Structure 1
Amino acid sequence: MTLTVRASLLASLSLFSFASAAAAQDVPPAQDATASTQAQDERPAGDQTIIVTGTRSSNRTVADSPVPVDVIGSDAIVHTGQTETNRILNQLVPSFNFPQPSIADGSDTLRPATLRGLSPDQTLVLVNGKRRHVASLLNINGTIGRGSSAVDLNLIPGIAISRVEVLRDGAAAQYGSDAIAGVINIQLKNSAHSGRASLTYGEYHTTLSDVAAVTGLQLGPDGQPVLGTVPTNDPRYLLANTDGERKANDGTQVTAAANLGLPLGDRGFVNVSAEYRSRDRTNRAGYDLRPNFNRPTAAFDPREVNFNRLQFRFGDPDSKDYTVFVNAGYDITPDWELYSFGSYGHRDATSAANWRQQAAAANRNYAVLAPNQAPNTANFVPLTDIGFLPLIGTDLDDYSAFVGTRGAVAGWKADFSVGRGYNSFDYQVSDTLNTSYGTASPTDFDAGGLRYAQWVANADFSNEYNIGAAKPLTVAVGFEHRRERFKIRPGQVESYAAGPLAIAPITTTAANCITTLSGRFDPATGICSFPGRAAPAGAQGFPGIPASAQTNQARHSWAAYAELDTDPVANVTTTLAGRIERYSDFGTTVNGKFAARWEFLPGYAVRGAISNGFRAPSLQQQYFTTFSTNFIGGVPVDIATLSVTAPAAVALGAKPLKPEKSVNVSLGATANPLRGLTLTADLYNIKIKDRIVLTETLGTGGTGNIATVQAQVTSLLLAAGFPQVSAARFFVNGVDTTTRGIDLVAAYNLRTGSLGKWTLTAAYNRNKTKIDKRLAAPGALAQIPNIVLFGRVEGIRFTDGQPRDKIVLSADGDFGQIGFTARTTRYGKVVSPGSEPPLAPNQTSLTAYGPDDIFLGRKWISDAELRWKPGGGTEFALGANNVFDVYPDRSPFGLRPGSTTAANSFPANQEYIPYSIFSPFGFNGRFVYARASVDF
């Protein structure tokens, strides 16, 4: 489709589209616990929907809220065509970002999402108003959300959701830790007399943008493959014949879901939702044209000609999920209700690590070498015939259960509840080996696992008093007790240990080294080394969690809050909240919030809020520990991710983590110039002090590109008595940041008679984060000149790694038996930082761009769905996400522009890993689906 035609279609849609889909949904009040779904005409207008997030008043609506709250109804969730909640919110909420990384270990399976460009763990998630537990996984790879543990929203199936309320404002004073960016409150379905069943089938039909379809290698007159030559080609790759762009039909996804509401006599209800989702993997890798086989002579291995060069896997993993949610309530007396809700979810997924070439050190049999024999191409003996692709299997189990009762105590509304959440994440690595064990290595490994549990108990009270104000004063007070526990389970020994083919250098005598140990002796240093025993240790692809990392840590906290909510005079709404919370590990924090709205003319209002907030350091950030052994320059280096209390980390200057502290200020305006039309604008400024980040890996030369750093860090560790740790990283309160942005939202509920009923929506978010201050190196690290704890790459991930802005335009309508949804989303610019430092004279700059940084341009992603309702509650739908098959900008590869030497080249992997994992809409291409459903 031409750009002109595409632009015309998007422009036509834009004429009918103003506002976030979130702001325009018609949903029944949350208090209606037993009524079946109302007819569309009986639902309140979107801006008159009663909200339960951001206020404890019982009659606050979207229209008179002093802070912005988006409400996403169940219809909007269904009409996206997606069945993962994170992908649904990414389509509907402009300030929500959900990149979909690949080759990122556990983050392939449990992908983090963000709100307002902040960290995934700075958004609080509630279910039915109760705190949802976070995942046990800590994201420590180079993805958005590095160093965070977040709630896995994809464990909450869309069919269980009545609506989602997204509070876009700081709310720690009302809800406690994590609510810096905002709050996502998921309300479960509560009908007692209705149900729904659906079956969705879809798959990707796509053409990879700027990725060549290789038909074979170019061969010379002698029948041998041909390497590229400078300056025409990159000499790292074999020349190939191509035919257009690579096509893919994969990622088949089947989702079966059902929801059923049943009465419990005439006094209660139980609502059950279940979903099963099976998703085949996608692969958006390009062809790997590097020579794969060992080359001891000038001639290539003859297998190069017919070798399958799509060995890499780059995309969504194979995944099977099943989840069950139950929501129930029962009136035990006229004044008291017993309620309960809970869930169980399970996910099996298999993702891939990087392909290990046949000629790689990871595939070498070191047993054929003498300890003093240097490895080279002539003495290479492979462990596998063609190389191998390590597969990382993850087994996730998750459950939660809440039980409570609400009623009246001495004239006060009261709500007592207790709940538990639990998440486990286990690793199984297969089709791989621990090279240091040689031919004795297993090929499948139990690589260990993580556990997180949370207990939370709440007591909430509220009452209304007539004090002569325009509306009664709502007084709410409450108490919360929370207990958390984090565990690390080690893997089997072979998954992490250094086997007999990995021997570290030692200091000894020449005679002992040469005669007894068969090593190489350096008389200048007295060091005996073993080049023939330099096999990489640990399971390739994902080294297991070692026994030394075993962890079992807990903490608890107590909190009390108070909130006042009233209209002191006509058309003026105010909310005042305060909270004090004490944690067993870092002490007490006090937070407050004031919000107000003034409707100065009928339908026109201004609003604003100011608050301070906090986020407690997670147990994962405080206690996560693991070790991996890498060979750097042929020498085994143990790299440790250390807890802040580990003696080696303390020796380097690590200190107990403090909570992150924020100050949120927002100012906005709302207008209803026409019946059914709502316009809102909100500016926000979020300053966060002591943000918790993971340091650079200290001791590998990766800190400010200073050559002496590695030796000096290693010396510090050695002097402190930790010779087994040559490089380390740990969490610190490392940076202060400021995030500024604006949300513009409009919604128009249009009733056109013969043309049916339409909801036209549009929204815009612009967001920018700036680093105000970086932590100076603490303790012993301060002795090292120019050392950087939080470097350029991580800094750019903070400031430029998420879209600068985002636009969502949509039109959703029904006319007779036909329904139609069209949506287009524009994702703004993103920078994906590379490891190469900036060019002179900015080599040490922490903000300048480097030659390998990738700049992802703005992209429009359009979705469409057509529905037919023949009657009897049945519905059939056909649709496509990313209709125009748009991809992020292709990563550059080969020689850099103007290069005349092979050394001046882009990273080699960008030839076969064509897209950045920072893409805010992923990189899978067009998804086509069909759905059949029945309401009863």
Structure 2
Amino acid sequence: MNQTLRHAPRLTVLALSLAGAFSAHAQTQAPAAEEQQIQQVVVTGTYTKNRRTLDSQSPVDVIGAKELQSTGSTELATVLGRLLPSVNFPRPSGADASDAVRPAQLRGLSPDQVLVLVNGKRRHTSAVINVNGTLGRGSAPVDLNAIPLEAIDHIEVLRDGAAAQYGSDAIAGVINIILKKGAKGGDVEAGWGEYQKHDGKQWTLKGSTGFALGDNGWVRLAAEVADKDPTNRAGADFRNPKEPLYGQVTQRLGDPESRPRTLFVNSQYRINDDLEWYGFANYGHRYTSAAATWRTAYNGGALRSPTIFPNGFLPLEDSTSTDKSVVTGLRGELAGWRWDASLNYGSNEFKLDLDNTINQTLGAASPTHFHAGSLQAAESQFNLDVAREVPVSYFSGPLTVALGYEARHETYKIGAGEEASWTGTGSQGFAGFRPENAGKNGRNNQSLYLNLEADVTEQLSAGLGVRHEHYTDFGDTTSAKASARYAFTKALSVRGTASTGFRAPSLAQQDYTITTTNFMVVNGVNTPVETGTFAVGSRAASALGAVPLKPEKARNLSIGVQYQPSAYFTTSVDLYRIDIDDRILFSANLQLPDALKAILAAQGYTVGAARYFTNALDTRTKGVDVVSTYRLPLQQGARVDFTVGYNYNQNDVRRVAANPALLTQYKLLLVDRQTINRTTVGSPKDKLSLSTDYTRGQWNGRAVVTRYGRFTVPQNDATLDQQYDPQWVLDLSASVKVDRNWRLSAGVDNVTNRYPAQITSKGNLNNGGIQPYSGFAPNGFNGRFFYAKAGYSW
């Protein structure tokens, strides 16, 4: 851990020094009668009632609705990436379905190593699996952007391993999204935005309202509709003077066109004093049109499509993502036990069509529109949770005993595309799913957990948890967690946790299969290659050395210090270490020699490259989180809130799995240098956020400065690696309450119009200059963004 602190930049030391200065000032400024505390009650990571963030044995960030609405973005993942230093949300482009469902990272780990809850209930994952060269390659995480900001009351982010409490996926932490509730009040807001380049125009209409269900219940609705135009930061194409459009911008690089429509419902009804019904549900539909790689008019010396697209063409991947979920349950109290029984169903279906493209095998008879197929992920769950406080004479407080049972059924389905999309070379941009790719797979999971928490003394609180799970496809696993917090004084405390955890291989990782065209660098040239992605248990994958996937196993350690000398100031510093064994990665693109091509051809696969999922690495992640907040009261009820947030993260490889003997024979690496280094250096090494929020009467102003740390885009040839220097980004916003009901807001994101460095031309990694920016850039590459909002509330 000392090495981690030595490598943290001097800005962290400065931030802590400022925090100390704020502390001394707060002690003299804060009136003792002030009741407006920074601390809040949290429900994530604990089964104890009325646990505050200050008392938490693990670090928990609480993000309110005001902060969620403080930027120009309407995407939840983008907002979290700006508000939380430990969250990274890059914006890949030209990465097939990953353009439509972009993955987010917590603490530099895989996107599917963070668990997402809604109102404390497990959220289903996306059907999309990221199989192109993006951060999070090989993951199939929850689609955070399917949850509209308008439905959210606040978010609790637990930055700690929590598999013993919540089960699979909670290795990096837990994001718990708490929905708005109650019958009173409502709001509606219209928003507009546009980038400096006069593209990416956005129109948003959203609102929420509540209704009473008699005297004992309520139902609350939230809806959001948006239209977002694409952005384009591609360069002009000067690769071939023979091209009809030589010197023009033919590629599209940036955000896709997107049209999300989402509805959330949250409700509750008290049946009697000891019994309550609750339910919440959502339906979302998002259309996305993302660009593939420009197909030139000439393919070698011949025209690619002289009769349909004589000047070349840009394939468009038009997808529709349909998201559905419903949770219903009863909760109450019986014989001193709090209990909660619920049913939970969620599904995501991703349908993909191709437009403005052809299947070259069909020649002049080729259609220009194709249905490429569909993916669907679904989960059904039953949960029973009980808890009670048991008096213990020698404890300063009761012992909270929590028990639970969960049964979960998961399915993953691939639907075939129309024949024209996959026959021969398939539709350009994305060849469709073949009938042999189609199918449905499922598994069952059952788990039991026990959690104990208590205030042992007035200074010491502690917790123990254990969870046992059984999966029908790979067997049993057990996780445990111990945590404690000791308060030296009312202002100063230390906390720490030690836990084991796991992540079950997703059904998508086990069963995803497709044959499609991928661009690979062959002899220094970006070349289209037919690539087979094979399910781990298939004969084709087995012929290339694949073995069944095992669950990832994790060990988390953390220790932290909390300091709150007054109601206005709080700071925390948490060190952590996360060891993960048998991390599941998507293999390298194996460019096959003739002998291996022949083996696959005998099974009916005519491909030039292959890939599959494998337990590839053991890794260690070390880091530090610093969060400091200070409220400065001013005259006439005004105040200024300061927040300093910092994350430093270091990922190292401890072991690489042995290469399959067959691949070694042909000098192929299943896990190549690029695949390994994506997990270690692809995300920012550190991130610093400095925010100031000023409120006076009806006026509010906010300024946020974010420093995104150094990262590297790796290649298999180390000389082609490109390291990106830190980047500072300034966001400004202001709002005014015109009268009792109306509020106007405006702002500028990326005020100084900062762009990441362009991709070097070495090795033709920028595709002749038409793709100048990397999708690894943590703040994207769209530039300055202007926005305005008008809202009415009641």
TM range (shorter): over 0.9
Cα separation, partners in 2 of 1:43 and 1:135, compared to 1, 3 Å:
farther
Cα separation, partners in 2 of 1:694 and 1:15, compared to 1, 3 Å:
closer
Do 2:36 and 2:567's aligned partners in 1 also have CA atoms closer than 8 Å? no
Cα separation, partners in 2 of 1:629 and 1:313, compared to 1, 3 Å:
closer
Task: Return the match for 1:587 from 475, 478, 483.
Answer: 475
| Per-residue Cα deviation, 1:84-132 (whole angstroms, up to 9, x for no partner) | 1011101101000000000111111110001000000000000000000
Residue in 2 that maps onto 1:911: 769
Residue in 2 that maps onto 1:573: 461
Q: TM-score, normalised by structure 2?
A: 0.93
Matched, 1:100 2:81: no
Residue in 2 that maps onto 1:444: 369
Compute the displacement of 1:82 (Å): 1.7
Do 2:499 and 2:556's aligned partners in 1 also have CA atoms closer than 8 Å? yes
Residue in 2 that maps onto 1:683: 575
Residue in 2 that maps onto 1:46: 38
In structure 2, give the amino acid aligned to 1:341.
F
Matched, 1:885 2:753: yes
Say which SS state the counterpart of residue 654 (structure 1) adopts: coil
Distance in 2, matches of 1:312 and 1:726, equals 26
Do 1:98 and 1:112's aligned partners in 2 also have CA atoms closer than 8 Å? yes
Do 1:358 and 1:382's aligned partners in 2 also have CA atoms closer than 8 Å? no
Do 2:180 and 2:220's aligned partners in 1 also have CA atoms closer than 8 Å? yes
Residue in 2 that maps onto 1:530: none
Say which SS state the counterpart of residue 387 (structure 1) adopts: coil
Distance in 2, matches of 1:716 and 1:669, equals 59
Distance in 1, matches of 2:258 and 2:620, equals 38
Matched, 1:671 2:563: yes
In structure 1, give the amino acid aligned to 2:346.
G
Compute the displacement of 1:43 (Å): 8.0
Do 1:741 and 1:765's aligned partners in 2 also have CA atoms closer than 8 Å? yes
Residue in 1 that maps onto 2:142: 151
RMSD: 2.4
Do 2:492 and 2:564's aligned partners in 1 also have CA atoms closer than 8 Å? yes
Residue in 1 that maps onto 2:412: 486
Residue in 2 that maps onto 1:875: 743
Do 1:747 and 1:761's aligned partners in 2 also have CA atoms closer than 8 Å? yes
Compute the displacement of 1:714 (Å): 3.2
Task: Return the match for 1:336 from 275, 279, 300.
Answer: 275
Cα separation, partners in 2 of 1:637 and 1:88, compared to 1, 3 Å:
closer
1:104-253 map, 5 Å: 104-205=95-196, 248-253=197-202
Compute the displacement of 1:712 (Å): 4.8
1:700-711 map, 5 Å: 700=592, 710-711=593-594
Compute the displacement of 1:360 (Å): 2.1
Do 2:304 and 2:310's aligned partners in 1 also have CA atoms closer than 8 Å? no
Matched, 1:309 2:248: yes
Do 2:87 and 2:105's aligned partners in 1 also have CA atoms closer than 8 Å? yes
Matched, 1:275 2:224: yes
| Per-residue Cα deviation, 1:306-359 (whole angstroms, up to 9, x for no partner) | x56111100011110010000000001111110000101000010111111111
Identity of aligned residues (%): 42
Distance in 1, matches of 2:518 and 2:111, equals 30
Compute the displacement of 1:647 (Å): 0.8
Say which SS state the counterpart of residue 249 (structure 1) adopts: coil
Do 1:18 and 1:760's aligned partners in 2 also have CA atoms closer than 8 Å? no
Distance in 2, matches of 1:178 and 1:583, equals 14
1:630-669 map, 5 Å: 638-669=530-561
Residue in 2 that maps onto 1:222: none
Q: Which has the larger displacement, 178-187 or 634-643?
A: 634-643
Matched, 1:759 2:751: no
| Per-residue Cα deviation, 1:366-423 (whole angstroms, up to 9, x for no partner) | 9xxxxxxxxxxxxxx6752211111110011010000001001222111000010010
Say which SS state the counterpart of residue 45 (structure 1) adopts: coil
Say which SS state the counterpart of residue 147 (structure 1) adopts: coil
Cα separation, partners in 2 of 1:666 and 1:250, compared to 1, 3 Å:
same
Do 1:432 and 1:539's aligned partners in 2 also have CA atoms closer than 8 Å? yes
| Per-residue Cα deviation, 1:683-737 (whole angstroms, up to 9, x for no partner) | 000000000111112244xxxxxxxxx245336546x856645532111111110
Q: Which structure features the higher share of strand residues?
A: 2
Distance in 2, matches of 1:561 and 1:933, equals 45
Distance in 1, matches of 2:753 and 2:639, equals 30
Cα separation, partners in 2 of 1:884 and 1:15, compared to 1, 3 Å:
farther
Distance in 2, matches of 1:717 and 1:447, equals 23
Do 2:347 and 2:376's aligned partners in 1 also have CA atoms closer than 8 Å? yes
| Per-residue Cα deviation, 1:736-759 (whole angstroms, up to 9, x for no partner) | 100000001100122112371222
Q: Which has the larger displacement, 905-914 or 316-325?
A: 905-914
Residue in 1 that maps onto 2:54: 63
Do 1:776 and 1:782's aligned partners in 2 also have CA atoms closer than 8 Å? no
Distance in 1, matches of 2:598 and 2:697, equals 76
Distance in 2, matches of 1:729 and 1:669, equals 45
Do 2:37 and 2:567's aligned partners in 1 also have CA atoms closer than 8 Å? no
Compute the displacement of 1:909 (Å): 1.4
Matched, 1:90 2:81: yes
Compute the displacement of 1:760 (Å): 0.8
Do 1:356 and 1:363's aligned partners in 2 also have CA atoms closer than 8 Å? no
Do 1:652 and 1:779's aligned partners in 2 also have CA atoms closer than 8 Å? no
Q: Which has the larger displacement, 636-645 or 317-326?
A: 636-645
Distance in 1, matches of 2:738 and 2:777, equals 40
Compute the displacement of 1:265 (Å): 1.3
1:516-665 map, 5 Å: 537-628=425-516, 638-665=530-557
Say which SS state the counterpart of residue 137 (structure 1) adopts: coil
In structure 2, give the amino acid aligned to 1:564.
L
Matched, 1:352 2:291: yes
Cα separation, partners in 2 of 1:796 and 1:466, compared to 1, 3 Å:
same
Do 2:536 and 2:549's aligned partners in 1 also have CA atoms closer than 8 Å? yes
Task: Return the match for 2:656 from 738, 752, 774.
Answer: 774
Residue in 2 that maps onto 1:529: none
Distance in 2, matches of 1:780 and 1:622, equals 21
Matched, 1:820 2:701: yes
Which portions of structure 1, spanning 4 or more consecutive aligned residues, are displaced by more than 3 angstroms? 13-19, 41-44, 361-366, 629-638, 711-718, 720-727, 779-784, 905-908
Residue in 2 that maps onto 1:509: none
Task: Return the match for 1:402 from 318, 321, 327.
Answer: 327
| Per-residue Cα deviation, 1:619-663 (whole angstroms, up to 9, x for no partner) | 000000111368989999753100011111112221111100000
Say which SS state the counterpart of residue 909 (structure 1) adopts: coil
Distance in 2, matches of 1:918 and 1:352, equals 17
Residue in 2 that maps onto 1:511: none
Residue in 1 that maps onto 2:731: 863
Cα separation, partners in 2 of 1:763 and 1:189, compared to 1, 3 Å:
same
Do 1:431 and 1:444's aligned partners in 2 also have CA atoms closer than 8 Å? yes
Distance in 2, matches of 1:395 and 1:78, equals 26
Task: Return the match for 1:714 from 581, 584, 597.
Answer: 597
Compute the displacement of 1:782 (Å): 4.8
Distance in 2, matches of 1:822 and 1:637, equals 47
| Per-residue Cα deviation, 1:207-230 (whole angstroms, up to 9, x for no partner) | xxxxxxxxxxxxxxxxxxxxxxxx
In structure 2, give the amino acid aligned to 1:639.
T
Say which SS state the counterpart of residue 251 (structure 1) adopts: coil
Residue in 2 that maps onto 1:470: 396
For structure 2, which runs of at least 5 residues remain unmatched after alignment?
A: 1-10, 21-32
Compute the displacement of 1:46 (Å): 2.4
Say which SS state the counterpart of residue 622 (structure 1) adopts: helix
In structure 2, give the amino acid aligned to 1:728.
A
